[in-house]
């Protein structure tokens, strides 16, 4: 079998375990040195591929890969960049395939979410049109858990664990400070269109009276009066109320409860829903109020990684390499749940073209009838995903995250001009 080089890249919002996938890809590729030559990595996703900004991972030793596996963030750099349709911008694809050819790339693994799977499908189709020998494999990750075709997305389990732990600990604090004036705490988590992380905060509670008492998800239109009524009733019963809210909740007319800004492409930069609700509660009900926005913290908490999530992140990386060597073009290794208790799972391949750009939202059966919390079915689904811990090494009282030194690959083409 002739050797060919493999190019790996990271895309979209990163996670606490995306580098575990990267390390698994590199390790699995080295085990198949009969089929794979050099594993290259593109800096900042597809932008690095276009710019011929590549890394030679062969300089990384076993210790480097172990450190990489426990490093949060995107070690190789990520991006939010969508390729144009080939017919609109053929020069973009000319450049991409020129880079592939210059560096002997015959396998392309793109580690990302919904939009990244669309990129995989586009590049795969373009390779077939051009007759270029390339196998493209999408590698799943997203803290939002909104990828179709997989039972869960690597990265979500650790973000879910963070949300549950944050609510558990904040709930203990606010419960200890309850007073006759009533106190309310609002935790705003990520979730533009899907409320999976917010739903996972329910795992903090062991009884109905423990936080979070209310969970607001984008799947349910925000009903201000029903929400305020539930908050007030909880405060009157317990002396306090804890709320989890997804950043992307909307009113019945489709307007966001809060938005901060737009980027250059017009995409809404969400944030502030928690603050908006906390102030609404204070203005309408008079209760003391606090809010928190974990933001990057919920997806970068390498000190609180779910062992299940870490194992699945490694598994999809290894499965992606196996699929590439087997010539399985335009597929994505996906998690398949086999049983809830004890939790069992395996990895299967899904057709990328069938799931690209689709969005998996929290199903109705996981949402309580009043829309203000989750069901037992949701908890049964969520609980196994946060199980177990993978702690990093510590030094000086903080995690000893070691970012490997990367060796750049010499450029062989002229500079890229978009």
Query: What backbone phi and psi angles, to 5 degrees, belong to 228?
Result: -65, -35
The encoded tokens of residue 262 equal 């737009």
Sort residue 256 into left (φ over 0), alpha (ψ -120 to 50) or beta: beta
In sequence order, the β-bridge partners of residue 61 are: none
In sequence order, the β-bridge partners of residue 337 are: 345
**CA 218, CA 248: separation in Å to the nearest integer?**
6
**CA 139, CA 134: separation in Å to the nearest integer?**
16
Q: Is-catalytic flag, 144?
A: yes
Contact between 417 and 92 under an 8 Å Cβ cutoff? The reply is: no
User: Which DSSP letter does residue 208 get?
Assistant: T
List Cα–Cα distances, 175 to 167, 184, 185, 229, 374, in angstroms.
12, 10, 10, 20, 22
Query: What backbone phi and psi angles, to 5 degrees, belong to 243?
Result: -125, 135
In sequence order, the β-bridge partners of residue 312 are: none
Query: Catalytic: which of 64, 144, 309, 329?
Result: 144
Please provide the DSSP assignment of 345-385 as one string.
EEEEEEEHHHHTT------GGGB-TTSSSB-HHHHHHHGGG
- Residues known to be catalytic: 144
């Amino acid at each position: 079998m002739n050797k060919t080089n493999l190019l790996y890249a990271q895309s979209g919002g990163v996670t606490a375990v995306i580098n575990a996938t990267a390390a698994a890809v590199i390790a699995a590729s080295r085990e198949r040195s009969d089929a794979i030559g050099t594993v290259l990595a593109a800096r900042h996703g597809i932008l690095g591929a276009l710019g011929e900004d590549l890394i030679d991972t062969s300089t990384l030793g076993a210790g480097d890969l172990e450190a990489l596996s426990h490093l949060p963030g995107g070690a190789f750099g990520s991006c939010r960049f969508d390729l144009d349709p080939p017919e609109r911008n053929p020069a973009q694809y000319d450049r991409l395939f020129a880079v592939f050819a210059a560096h002997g790339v015959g396998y392309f693994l793109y580690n990302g979410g919904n939009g990244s799977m669309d990129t995989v499908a586009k590049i795969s189709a373009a390779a077939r049109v051009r007759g270029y020998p390339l196998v493209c494999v999408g590698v799943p990750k997203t803290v939002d858990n909104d990828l179709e075709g997989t039972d869960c997305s690597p990265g979500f389990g650790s973000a879910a664990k963070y949300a549950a732990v944050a609510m558990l600990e904040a709930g203990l604090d606010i419960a200890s400070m309850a007073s006759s004036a009533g106190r309310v705490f609002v935790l705003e988590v990520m979730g533009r269109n899907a409320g999976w992380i917010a739903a996972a905060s329910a795992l903090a509670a062991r009884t109905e009276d423990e936080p979070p008492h209310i969970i607001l998800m984008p799947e349910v239109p925000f009903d201000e009066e029903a929400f305020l009524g539930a908050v007030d009733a909880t405060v009157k019963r317990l002396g306090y109320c804890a709320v989890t809210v997804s950043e992307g909740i909307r009113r019945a007319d489709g307007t966001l409860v809060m938005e901060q800004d737009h980027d250059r492409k017009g995409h809404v930069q969400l944030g502030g829903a928690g603050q908006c609700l906390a102030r609404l509660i204070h203005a309408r009900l008079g209760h003391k109020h606090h809010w928190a926005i974990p933001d990057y913290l919920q997806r970068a908490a390498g000190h609180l990684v779910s062992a299940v999530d870490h194992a699945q992140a490694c598994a999809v990386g290894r499965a992606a390499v196996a699929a590439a060597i087997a010539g399985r073009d335009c597929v994505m290794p996906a998690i398949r749940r086999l049983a809830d208790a004890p939790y069992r799972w395996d990895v299967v391949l899904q057709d990328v073209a069938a799931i690209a750009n689709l969005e998996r939202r929290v199903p109705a059966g996981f949402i309580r009838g009043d829309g203000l919390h989750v069901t037992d079915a949701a908890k049964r689904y969520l609980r196994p995903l946060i199980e177990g811990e993978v702690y990093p090494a510590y030094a000086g009282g903080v995690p000893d995250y070691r970012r490997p030194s990367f060796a750049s690959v010499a450029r062989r083409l002229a500079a890229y001009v978009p």
